[in-house]
A and B are shown apart, each in its own frame.
Chain A
């Protein structure tokens, strides 16, 4: 460890060290932008350093010490991002917390993390924290960004961000050496200090505090920033939840290591407009955002005049044919390039501009499976959209796709310096530069998560495809086996089915059975549209779902799904032999889906046990009665005779033993 070094040759192993370096090297370049009062306000790296220094010294005066935890709660705002660096500069550990967490969840996290300080956005968060103040007696000081509505609050333990900064400024004026000593603390800090503690979202049980060491965080961020050649000339829009590893990593960590500009939206509702105004070069969004972008484009095109519609459909066709090849520098005939260039002028350019994606150099999506068509649509417009796979425990990146080697159904090979393997049980395991150093106060759980040789168990089942890219199939605990011994990954099958717009929901069965069978829900909007165009009258969802022609359409989709599955050596054994279209939509009000609209598998199989039995006993139809809750809360019973259909199964393509590993 180096005790005293000048800024030029200091070992860059913490983010505050990067802050000093960036202020020196990129002093006048923008570090932060925030739209406020309708205008983009900006701060250069030098100004950002001053803001952070004043706040840090103010925090120090309030008593924040090395090793203490400080909660950060709110939307993406410059001051909250500055809190990260300010806390880290004092050796304190920032703990971002989801701003929309209910009081009880938030109380748990704040208590578990043992925070003594909390920096929050506004009155809403202050109220929430004060509502459970008795549960977190160790919390002493709350600092808020926006003073609105807080005028009449008792000032004990409550400070405005600006007052804390003013206190810092005043101390600096009174003591000329203070700023220098602060910088010295940063220079002599150790990379082994914990840089950040991120609480997992807790879909499976209580949230856990994932601790990341400064040196690991810095190394990981440096690797991926280099991988995508991010530099101080790039910019991002920071709009994802502050407490999510992705936001902290992609915007804060990568921002500090590469010196790019982070832009904070005006409010959560203005993100789309802000994106258009900023035109970032690096962008991340989960698949569902890309999906809603595509939907809005499609709907607006349907309302456009015929000329625009014609142009659009023609050039989208051209893009489909040549767009991805051009993006990947593959050979394309001259005529194709010419039409694509025209299309760029008429359609792709303006469209990308409207979406705020004009300047994108690298875009990522992750979190769930993305449909091939959706993925290709954006890529064919010339947007370099790629996939990655990550975890909080890895400080995000585990795998990442290289430019030009991008596919919709894989998540790419191991990210730089990441060791990746598949255990004998089929679970994905990794060792990475950004790897966590344990769950806070939960050594047992940490030990359970790590293998003996120090790999992290992800809990996801996956395999390497022929070209060495990782394919995630499901949560490891959901993966089962058919009696034939073939692998049965329900989510993988369901996702393949759900990529058809006509299929809204699918539930696959097969663990411990002879073959795979599935329940399907049609998408009322998509199928309803089709029915309207084909003059098919129906009075209810139930009637439409049971319509013979609808069954035909769905059968075609199942057939295609089987064809796709047959091309996957690992999945070919689990093709769908029998299926039915459910007589009612799976609904959260009936407990069939979670509130986040995920299928509650166990509940569904219990509720529809007779239908599952019918799928496996060879009958062609089955009568069933189901209770249901209407939108207005009334209860009712639906009765239906559900038809069961057989599907064709394809022979598996010759399995190729995985090349990678």
Chain B
């Protein structure tokens, strides 16, 4: 009945890939909708344990790229190798099973449910008991729920959202909703976490908090992160490597410093006189 001496820390599942090795390799991916080419022949990779940013002006294809990774779109061309396995056509829930979790540009939570229930929902993929057991909520299902609840409480503690544990998320300010969404993604114990504009619409203080959480997730839990973000300051500070897209094409790839001084990137962001 005593409290634990040290918090258990959920870590990314050990998939046998040492830090620094390739976790995901995107090769020559192209995606088009009818005649519109969203992504053209893009290749980049994500190494285990890094924070990888995907940036680019509006309409550059960033979110499409994320949707491809997460199985929502199936590219017409190219391959994605995740954890050494080449991926075939699949659905988002397959991606979840493989260890990919994501957050959305526009918060996508269950607004009427509490913070706790939303994060618990993130654990549902891991629940082994079937609906029958869960309905009776007794014996093995109860034990399982307690186990999951413990993990969820760790996440709540980690993200410092104890005070809103029971609050319906629809009532929460935007910044906190984003944090709850991050919590739900973390609940899946992903080996790759995709964040779609985690700081969009936040004020400076909220951005600082969110940056700290992202760094902590990465450093303490060893979770590999790929994120899309508009705030250049944030991207340059947070990420280990940056890939830059423009009009569906990759125009640069490298460390933040290298990308910052790349002429193509400067042109894409500031525009060029034609």
Enumerate chain A interface residues (CB-CB to B < 8 A): 34, 36-39, 41-43, 47, 147-149, 151-152, 160, 162, 165, 266-267, 269-270, 273
Q: A39: nearest residue on chain B (CB-CB)?
A: B153
* B163 contacts A269, C-beta separation under 8 Å: yes
* B162 contacts A267, C-beta separation under 8 Å: yes
* B6 contacts A266, C-beta separation under 8 Å: no
A153 to chain B, nearest CB (A): 12
What 1/0 mask marks residues of chain B from 141 to 172 whose CB sits below 8 Å from any chain A CB?
Answer: 00000000110011011101011011000000
Residues of A within 8 A of B1 (CB): 41-42
In the complex, A165→B6 CA distance in Å? 12
B151 to chain A, nearest CB (A): 10
B129 to chain A, nearest CB (A): 22
Residues of B within 8 A of A36 (CB): 3, 157
In the complex, A579→B3 CA distance in Å? 60
A296 to chain B, nearest CB (A): 15
Q: Find B6's partner among A37, A39, A162 (CB 8 Å cutoff).
A: A162
* A34 contacts B219, C-beta separation under 8 Å: no
CB of B220 closer than 8 Å to a CB of A: yes
In the complex, A34→B162 CA distance in Å? 13
* B6 contacts A147, C-beta separation under 8 Å: yes
In the complex, A320→B160 CA distance in Å? 41
* A270 contacts B163, C-beta separation under 8 Å: yes
Given contacts A42-B1, A147-B6, A267-B160, are A37 and B150 in contact (CB under 8 A)?
yes
* A37 contacts B157, C-beta separation under 8 Å: yes
Residues of B within 8 A of A148 (CB): 7, 158, 216, 220
* B162 contacts A270, C-beta separation under 8 Å: yes
Instruction: List 18 interface pairs A-B (beta carbons < 8 Å), by A numbering.
Output: A34-B3, A37-B3, A37-B154, A38-B156, A38-B165, A39-B153, A41-B1, A41-B3, A42-B1, A47-B2, A147-B7, A148-B158, A148-B216, A148-B220, A149-B216, A149-B220, A162-B6, A273-B166
| Residues B194-217 near A (CB distance < 8 A) | 216
In the complex, A151→B7 CA distance in Å? 14
4 A-B pairs closest in CB distance: A269-B163, A41-B3, A37-B153, A270-B163
In the complex, A152→B216 CA distance in Å? 11
* A41 contacts B2, C-beta separation under 8 Å: yes
Residues of A within 8 A of B7 (CB): 147-148
* B220 contacts A151, C-beta separation under 8 Å: yes
CB of B272 closer than 8 Å to a CB of A: no
CB of B5 closer than 8 Å to a CB of A: yes
Q: Find A162's partner among B5, B149, B156, B158 (CB 8 Å cutoff).
A: B5
Residues of A within 8 A of B5 (CB): 162, 165
In the complex, A152→B222 CA distance in Å? 13
B50 to chain A, nearest CB (A): 16
Q: 12 more A-B contacts (CB under 8 A) besides A47-B2, A266-B163, A269-B162?
A: A37-B150, A37-B157, A39-B153, A41-B3, A42-B1, A147-B6, A147-B7, A148-B7, A148-B220, A152-B219, A266-B162, A270-B162
Given contacts A148-B216, A152-B219, are A38 and B6 in contact (CB under 8 A)?
no
A483 to chain B, nearest CB (A): 53
| Residues B33-57 near A (CB distance < 8 A) | none
A320 to chain B, nearest CB (A): 33
Query: Which bucket holds chain B's interface residue count?
Result: 20 to 34
Enumerate chain B interface residues (CB-CB to A < 8 A): 1-3, 5-7, 149-150, 153-154, 156-158, 160, 162-163, 165-166, 216, 219-220
* A38 contacts B153, C-beta separation under 8 Å: yes
In the complex, A148→B5 CA distance in Å? 13
In the complex, A294→B267 CA distance in Å? 59
Q: A272: nearest residue on chain B (CB-CB)?
A: B163
In the complex, A308→B163 CA distance in Å? 28
In the complex, A489→B162 CA distance in Å? 46
* A267 contacts B163, C-beta separation under 8 Å: yes
In the complex, A246→B266 CA distance in Å? 59
In the complex, A36→B162 CA distance in Å? 9
Q: A266: nearest residue on chain B (CB-CB)?
A: B162
Residues of B within 8 A of A34 (CB): 3
Residues of A within 8 A of B163 (CB): 266-267, 269-270, 273
Residues of B within 8 A of A273 (CB): 163, 166
A492 to chain B, nearest CB (A): 38
Q: Find B162's partner among A38, A43, A162 (CB 8 Å cutoff).
A: A38
* B2 contacts A43, C-beta separation under 8 Å: yes
Residues of B within 8 A of A270 (CB): 162-163
In the complex, A162→B163 CA distance in Å? 26
Residues of A within 8 A of B219 (CB): 149, 151-152
B12 to chain A, nearest CB (A): 15
Residues of B within 8 A of A165 (CB): 5
In the complex, A367→B86 CA distance in Å? 68
Q: B116: nearest residue on chain A (CB-CB)?
A: A38
In the complex, A435→B87 CA distance in Å? 75
Residues of B within 8 A of A266 (CB): 162-163
A80 to chain B, nearest CB (A): 15
In the complex, A269→B216 CA distance in Å? 22
Residues of B within 8 A of A160 (CB): 6
In the complex, A42→B156 CA distance in Å? 20
In the complex, A71→B251 CA distance in Å? 54
Residues of A within 8 A of B6 (CB): 147, 160, 162
Q: A42: nearest residue on chain B (CB-CB)?
A: B1
Residues of A within 8 A of B3 (CB): 34, 36-37, 41
In the complex, A267→B3 CA distance in Å? 16
Which of A37, A42, A151 is most buried by chain B, counting CB atoms within 10 A of its CB?
A37
Q: B153: nearest residue on chain A (CB-CB)?
A: A37
A380 to chain B, nearest CB (A): 30
Q: A43: nearest residue on chain B (CB-CB)?
A: B2
In the complex, A37→B8 CA distance in Å? 11
Q: B151: nearest residue on chain A (CB-CB)?
A: A37
Which of B156, B163, B165 is most buried by chain A, counting CB atoms within 10 A of its CB?
B163
Residues of B within 8 A of A267 (CB): 160, 162-163
In the complex, A46→B144 CA distance in Å? 33
A42 to chain B, nearest CB (A): 7
In the complex, A171→B89 CA distance in Å? 60
In the complex, A37→B154 CA distance in Å? 6
A474 to chain B, nearest CB (A): 38
A299 to chain B, nearest CB (A): 16
In the complex, A214→B6 CA distance in Å? 33
Residues of A within 8 A of B220 (CB): 148-149, 151
Q: B166: nearest residue on chain A (CB-CB)?
A: A273
B95 to chain A, nearest CB (A): 29
B158 to chain A, nearest CB (A): 8
A46 to chain B, nearest CB (A): 12
Residues of A within 8 A of B156 (CB): 37-38
Residues of B within 8 A of A151 (CB): 219-220
Which of B162, B216, B220 is most buried by chain A, counting CB atoms within 10 A of its CB?
B162
In the complex, A147→B6 CA distance in Å? 8
In the complex, A39→B146 CA distance in Å? 12
Which of B3, B6, B156, B216 is most buried by chain A, counting CB atoms within 10 A of its CB?
B3
Residues of B within 8 A of A39 (CB): 153
In the complex, A152→B163 CA distance in Å? 29
Residues of B within 8 A of A162 (CB): 5-6
Residues of B within 8 A of A152 (CB): 219
A164 to chain B, nearest CB (A): 12
B182 to chain A, nearest CB (A): 16
In the complex, A39→B162 CA distance in Å? 11
In the complex, A102→B2 CA distance in Å? 35
